[in-house]
Structure 1
Amino acid sequence: MSDFDDLLREAQQRPLTGWDLSCDGRIVTTPAPWQFEAEVDRLARRSPDLLDMGTGGGEWLSQLPHRPARTVATEGWAPNVGIARERLAPLGIEVVEVEGADDNALQADDGSAQPRLPFGDASFHLVVNRHESFAAREVQRILMPGGHFLTQQVASDFNAGFHALLGLPWTEPPRWQLDTATAQLARAGLRVLQGEEGAERLRFADVGAFAWYLLQVPYVCPDFRIDTCRAALARLHARIAQGEPLEVRQALFRLVAMRP
């Protein structure tokens, strides 16, 4: 399929199942400059348990090389809960539906208004979080003393490149970067051991995959509509036809923290 109108029509009709945003390989995400999965795997092999916060459809967790005997996942988006349970239950992993935390950048300093996780104090030795908002005080509460929290986050300016490609105005959102996340964890009583900034690149094979992605992840570009952005999409389609790649840089950071 290469016709412009057909690509956009498919983008509007194609469903999303779970949290697989590859669009059958038409969207490729380059690796971050660190090996998050390898670090999780290293700690998981020494831990009796693991909690994966915001598992999506369980795609990433199901492929983790090693999972402790007690591995639990949470998910806050109702359509994904059943998908995650179907994928993870055969692996012996419980999926717990939770109320998600507010975006970290919007939380009050003490995090007191955030939902409580349905786990007892000091329930886990290892808590992992990929691109999910979290209440730092709740993470601290459910961690065992000496337990680790690993998170990879998208920075607050992650979507600026999408707006630029579409010629849409971009307003800087509340700041969520490595330093603000570090401070939030420290206020909750966690000791930050490592922090690193980097980026990944999203490469789109065609303008249909690009439009589909923005429709499925509306917080990336809330003003995106195929009809109102049609001229910009046509320009991007022409660029691809001329051999110019369509890709967006997305700022990331990672943190490793421990409960003293």
Structure 2
Amino acid sequence: MNELEYRNFYDRVGKMNGWDFSRVKCQSEGAAWDFYDVVTQNSKKSDMLLDIGTGGGEALLSIVDAALLLIGIDHSMGMIQTAQANVSASKASNVRMLYMDAAHIQFPEGFFQVISNRHSGFDPREVARVLAEGGCFLTQQVGEADKMNLKLAFGRGQAFEVPDGTLMNLYMTQLEEVGFRDIQSFEYDAIDYYETYEDLVFLLKHTPIIPNFGQTAEDFTILHQFIEEHQTSKGIRTNSKRFMIIARK
């Protein structure tokens, strides 16, 4: 997908589902951390916390006690509408969801003590600008080797044929260039077992793992063949490759 196609896709998913995959039945083996647990561990009750690319706000609403005020931003109006509805349903009084581009964060310099960002783009200069001195920035991203057996089956996919580690190294270099210190990176490659065909279809239709999945009948033929080859007693086997960067200003 090009940038415009991805934005349109992301906005459509936001209106339909938010970034909520709780209905997908999947067991993972080998995940080294839970990202928002790590965010909580690096936050204080008195902090102002910004979540960039918050999606439907589902993850941010799971850590409402981590900080004094939690603000989620997203460039998709569809996602933010879902996020605001989720906040209203939760009755959380210290969470705000705002339609905002990560390249133009509309807050003063040094406003936040903690900034989190999961599976979304960010602008290192803007992150550095709105993060207070001594503040912590945490990002988790999808590695290029994610869902590799699926990408090989389809012959296309998100970051297909890009060397693993490319994005992580780029982000670490950019963060260093804008003045971050104590930059640490972590990686894991977990095994995922999707319980049913429907779980895998939901994932592929609501993420850009296989761009434009389902627009041709051939995609479903390939998927059925993939399931036959990767079905195990635990479920349909694939992988989740993730990396995390923690940087202090």
Correspondence 1:65-80 to 2 at 5 A:
66-80=65-79
Q: Which runs of 5+ in 2 are unaligned?
A: 1-14
Over residues 189-239 of structure 1, what are the superposed CA-to-partner deviations in whole Å (9 max), with x where a residue is unaligned? 11134211112343211222212211211x211153351123222324445
1:91 is matched with 92
Alignment of 1:1-260 (within 5 A): 16-22=16-22, 24-30=23-29, 32-45=31-44, 47-64=46-63, 66-89=65-88, 90-92=91-93, 93-100=95-102, 115-164=103-152, 166-169=153-156, 171-173=160-162, 176-217=166-207, 219-222=208-211, 224-225=213-214, 227-238=217-228, 243=233, 245-259=235-249
Instruction: Give the superposition deviation at 1:118.
Output: 1.0
Larger radius of gyration: 1
Q: 1: CA distance between counterparts of 2:147 and 2:230?
A: 21
2:100, 2:225 → 1: CA distance? Answer: 42
Query: Does the aligned pair in 2 maintain the 1:177–1:253 contact within 8 Å?
Result: no
Q: CA separation of 1:244/1:220 partners in 2, compared to 1, >3 Å: closer, same or farther?
A: same
The one-letter code of the counterpart of 1:73 is: G
Which AA in structure 2 matches 1:168? G
Name which of structure 1's ranges 145-154 and 189-198 shifts more when overlaid on structure 2: 189-198
Note closer, same or farther for the CA distance 1:53–1:30 as it changes in structure 2 (3 Å cut): farther
- How many Å separate the matches in 2 of 1:131 and 1:244? 27
Q: Distance in 2 between matches of 1:98 and 1:146?
A: 25
Aligned partners of 1:127 and 1:150 also within 8 Å: yes
Q: Larger helix proportion, structure 1 or 2? A: 2
Aligned-partner Cα distance in 1 for 2:232–2:181? 50
More displaced 10-residue stretch of structure 1: 202-211 or 230-239: 230-239
Q: CA-to-partner distance for each residue in 1:98-136, whole Å, 9 max, x for gaps?
A: 125xxxxxxxxxxxxxx2111111110111111111000
Kept after mapping to 2: 8 A contact 1:41/1:65 = no
Identity %: 23
8 Å CA contact 1:21–1:27 kept in 2: the answer is no
2-side partners of 1:131 and 1:204: how far apart? 20
Q: Retained in 2: the 8 A contact 1:27–1:202? A: yes
In structure 1, distance between residues paired with 2:79 and 2:114 = 23
Letter in structure 2 aligned against 1:120: P
Superposed displacement of residue 65, structure 1: 6.1
- For residues 215 and 129 of structure 1, what CA distance do their matches in structure 2 show? 23
TM-score, scaled to structure 2: 0.80
- Paired with 2:110 and 2:55, the residues of 1 have a C-alpha distance of 24
Contact kept in structure 2, 1:195 and 1:253, CA below 8 Å: yes
**What is the Cα deviation at residue 153 of structure 1?**
1.1
Q: Give 5+ residue unaligned stretches, structure 1.
A: 1-14, 101-114
Q: 1:204 to 1:76 in 2, by over 3 A?
A: same
TM-score, structure 1 normalization: 0.77
